[in-house]
Chain A
Amino acid sequence: MSQKKTDIATLPKQKTSPLNDPRIRGVIFQALVAILLIWFGWTVFQNTLHNMESRGITTGFAFLDNPAGFGILMTLIEYDETHTYGRTFIVGLLNTLLVAGLGVIFATVLGFVMGIARLSQNWLIAKIATVYVETLRNIPLLLQIFFWYFAILQPLPGPRKSLDAAGVLFVNNRGIYVPEPIPGDGFGFVLIAFFIGIIATIAISRWASKRQEETGQQFPTFTAGLGCILGLPLIMFLIMGAPLTWGIPALKGFNFKGGIQIVPELIALLFALSTYTAAFIAEIVRSGILAVSHGQTEAAESLGIKRSVTLRLVVIPQAMRVIIPPLTSQYLNLVKNSSLATAIGYPDIVSVFMGTTLNQTGQAVEIVAMTMAVYLAISLTLSVIMNWYNKAMSLKER
């Protein structure tokens, strides 16, 4: 053995090219890629500067302070033609957040209902849910938005012939008019009572779970919480003498005055977004529930746990672990899909800022970068929240 070792030691050292050393090759390769990327970026940068100069476009964000001079169909904050381009960015952003936020809520509720309906023992209900899912998710979202907007909402009668419900809710081709709640004096106290109710509920649920852990006694947290959140404001509302009036929409001339107008663009977009995403969420919910092994249900049954309690305490918590990651990506899809608003003229950020503002100012690079940054920021925020929730729900192995 020792003989062999000396043999190897005395052999003339074989020369290997340093190019064959994976570490050195890695460094060289990375350096090449870096140089290529920098060159590419520099060329693009130079071209852009040159092209913008020859088209007479000034770079920079100074244009944001210039007056915009165009109106926007629907704004959540005060806005008119005299406001700046910077304000159009905020208006568009808020409209995007509105439709995305409402869309996430509606899609989740409808998706969970449809997903559970697909697993229903009732054959008819299960089949209806299947048809719903298979139809909606195989048709492009843009087509669905067009359908609701151009084929359903546009042919509705005009304001003078609008369909009404009980004389307070009106539907016509300019949207839906609903009564507007106008808070009177002392309505602030009702809101304060509402927040106190929420805090009290959190405190009660903490105390109840602590007590259950120590003594095993249960407490009707849900009923108590509901009482706090709804009851406290209601009592305060009555004490203050019902400080709330309703602004009923009424036909004045050619249009409705008073009340809240929900524009058809928002309705079509929200409806299409929610129903389309709900079809995907339904599939996620279904597969999540199916992923919980049947043994879990049987074990719960053999322990004598009621069916409804089994679903709430055994099946759903485990299914949620499977459901949450794909659900997150559906939420992100919904936010990104809300940019289709531009096709029917709902004033979201793409339509207002990347559309009208870009056309008027020509500041393509800045505007596209700002818009993309908004979507990236929303995506990252949502991912962080859902990852945190996922971690909280995930299996705690000891």
Chain B
Amino acid sequence: MGVYQEKPALAPPNSTTGPIAWVRLNLVSTPLNTVMTLIAIYALWQLLPPILNWAIFDANFAGDDAAACSTSSGACWVFVKTRLGFFTYGFYEEAERWRVDVSFLLLALVIVPQFFNNFPYKAWIGLAGLTVMPIVTGILLLGGVFGLPAVETHTWGGLMLTLVLSFVGIVAALPIGVVLALGRRSEMPMIRMVCVTFIEIWRGVPLISVLFMASVMLPLFLPEGWTFEKLLRALIGITLFQSAYMAEVIRGGLQAIPKGQFEAASALGLGYWRSMSLIILPQALKLVIPGIVNTFIALFKDTTLVLIIGLLDILATVQATIVDPAWRGVSTEGYIFAAFCFWVFCFGMSRYSQALERKLHTGHKR
């Protein structure tokens, strides 16, 4: 009587596992695929070594003046190193730069917790970032009170100005966007018409013309004797422009809330404002956080346009230094540095918004 003995399962054939199978499946599965792989490898072989040599192996990192870059043929990162202060702070007075650093730190303290799932008081920190922090950093950067010497806004520049423009733009545009979005869905024809007109006009014109308008036409609109600083004018333009986009994002969230929620709020006897602020908006805003982050990314990139009306954002600081005759031909290095700064912020934010989208996609899936 033979006893049944289980035999171990056979290993899968070599051709379906391991690196060889991976190559067969992903690189040479069909003749066309093979040809494309070969072309891609050839192109990379032609492109990558020169780029890597230029950017890393032959590049100059040591030294602190233009002479240090004449030794080899690669990139001149010394240029970026020596101008880093200007790229970060613009013309902000050296002695007062700690105030900018503290503001950066505050921003980091607000943003970093948002990346962790179970950080204590995460929502409150985020809320403080949208309400208290702008005031604190505003006082810190502007000065003029609490014994801090005043720093004029025309000395602001570099990465700091880029962050100020985009952050103020988004924080100020959010409430206006909420009001516009509610107005667009209002039952009062007059309100609806006004909001639709506002939104469509701002969305239909390029930001550049809005900035032009803010810098050329705003002084004409105001009573005589009223003048704004250039930074404030740019901020007004950006905020109005951004609030129209924000309104459309929030409208998307409002439309996604089932009608039952509105009816339930009415059945409980809540008026319009209370049903909106207690029932509808908390749900709608939570739904559109990824959309808001995407708008923020777009705004962050769009802040570069302020250089056209003469503000010194990070791209403008790079643009201003690469023409320095002491450093010959450093434009590529400067642009790559600026591009890298933007890329880090934008890529990080887009990854965050994608992760958030996946996380939020659980409850409302129908």
Question: A residues near B, CB below 8 A?
Answer: 26, 29-30, 33-34, 37, 43-44, 47-48, 50-52, 54, 120-125, 128, 134-135, 137-144, 146-147, 150-151, 155, 332, 336-337, 339-340, 342-343, 350, 354, 358, 364-365, 368, 371-372, 375-376, 379-380
Contacts and interface: CB of A to CB of B under 8 A. Distances in A.
Interface residues of B, number: 55
Contact of A143 (B205, B297, B335): B335
12 contacts: A33-B190, A34-B190, A120-B36, A124-B41, A138-B343, A138-B347, A139-B346, A143-B339, A147-B339, A342-B308, A350-B206, A354-B209
Interface of B: 25-27, 29, 33, 36-37, 40-41, 44, 187-191, 194, 201, 203-209, 212-213, 216-217, 219-224, 297, 301-302, 304-305, 307-308, 315, 319, 322, 329, 331-332, 335, 338-339, 342-343, 346-347, 350
A273 to B, nearest CB: 12
Contacts, number: 146
Given A124-B27, A336-B205, A143 B304 contact: yes
Given A30-B191, A146-B335, A121 B205 contact: no
Contact of B204 (A120, A134, A380): A380
B301 A140 contact: yes
A142 B41 CA distance: 31
Given A54-B224, A375-B206, A140 B194 contact: no
Contacts of B206: 336-337, 339, 350, 375
Contacts of B343: 135, 138-139
Given A140-B304, A143-B335, A368-B209, A44 B221 contact: yes
A364 B194 contact: no
Contacts of A371: 209
Nearest to B40: A124
A342 B208 contact: yes
A26 B187 CA distance: 9
Contacts of A47: 220-224
B26 A33 contact: no
A376 B224 contact: no
A372 B205 contact: yes
Contacts of B25: 121
Interface of B is mostly: helix
A365 to B, nearest CB: 7
A310 to B, nearest CB: 16
Nearest to B351: A134
B188 A48 contact: no
Contact of B342 (A140, A350, A380): A140
Contacts of A134: 347
B212 A379 contact: no
Nearest to A339: B206
Given A52-B220, A147-B335, A350-B206, A121 B26 contact: yes
Given A342-B308, A380-B204, A26 B216 contact: no
Nearest to B350: A138
A332 B206 CA distance: 10
A51 B224 contact: yes
Contacts of A144: 339
Contacts of A43: 223
Nearest to B344: A138
A354 B204 CA distance: 17
A151 B332 contact: yes
B208 A340 contact: yes
B319 A146 contact: yes
Given A47-B223, A340-B208, A354-B209, A122 B331 contact: no
B11 to A, nearest CB: 24
Contacts of B307: 142, 343
A37 B347 contact: no
Contacts of A368: 209, 212-213, 216-217
Contacts of A146: 315, 319, 335
A144 B343 CA distance: 12
Given A135-B343, A143-B339, A339 B224 contact: no
Given A122-B27, A128-B40, A376-B201, A339 B208 contact: yes
B217 A364 contact: yes
Contacts of B40: 122, 124-125, 128
Contact of A364 (B36, B220, B223, B350): B220
Nearest to B303: A140
A365 B25 CA distance: 63
A119 to B, nearest CB: 13
Contact of A375 (B29, B44, B209, B224): B209
A365 B213 CA distance: 9
Contacts of A139: 301, 339, 342-343, 346
A35 to B, nearest CB: 11
A186 B288 CA distance: 61
A123 B217 contact: no
Given A140-B315, A155-B329, A350-B209, A125 B36 contact: yes
A335 B365 CA distance: 35
Contacts of B332: 147, 151
A202 B212 CA distance: 47
A358 B213 CA distance: 11
Nearest to A134: B347
**What 5 A-B pairs come out closest when comparing CB atoms?**
A123-B26, A138-B346, A336-B206, A30-B190, A140-B301
A88 B331 CA distance: 33
Contacts of B213: 368, 372
B41 A140 contact: no
Given A124-B40, A138-B343, 16 more contacts: A37-B194, A43-B223, A47-B223, A52-B220, A120-B36, A121-B25, A124-B27, A124-B37, A124-B41, A125-B36, A138-B342, A139-B301, A150-B331, A375-B204, A375-B206, A376-B205
B301 A141 contact: yes
A128 B27 CA distance: 13
B230 to A, nearest CB: 16
Given A26-B187, A368-B213, A379 B329 contact: no
A46 to B, nearest CB: 9
B188 A122 contact: no
Nearest to B308: A343
Contacts of A48: 220-221
Contacts of A142: 304-305, 307, 315
A43, A146, A380, most chain B CB atoms within 10 A: A146
Contacts of A343: 307-308
Contacts of B216: 358, 364, 368
A250 to B, nearest CB: 30
Contacts of A135: 343
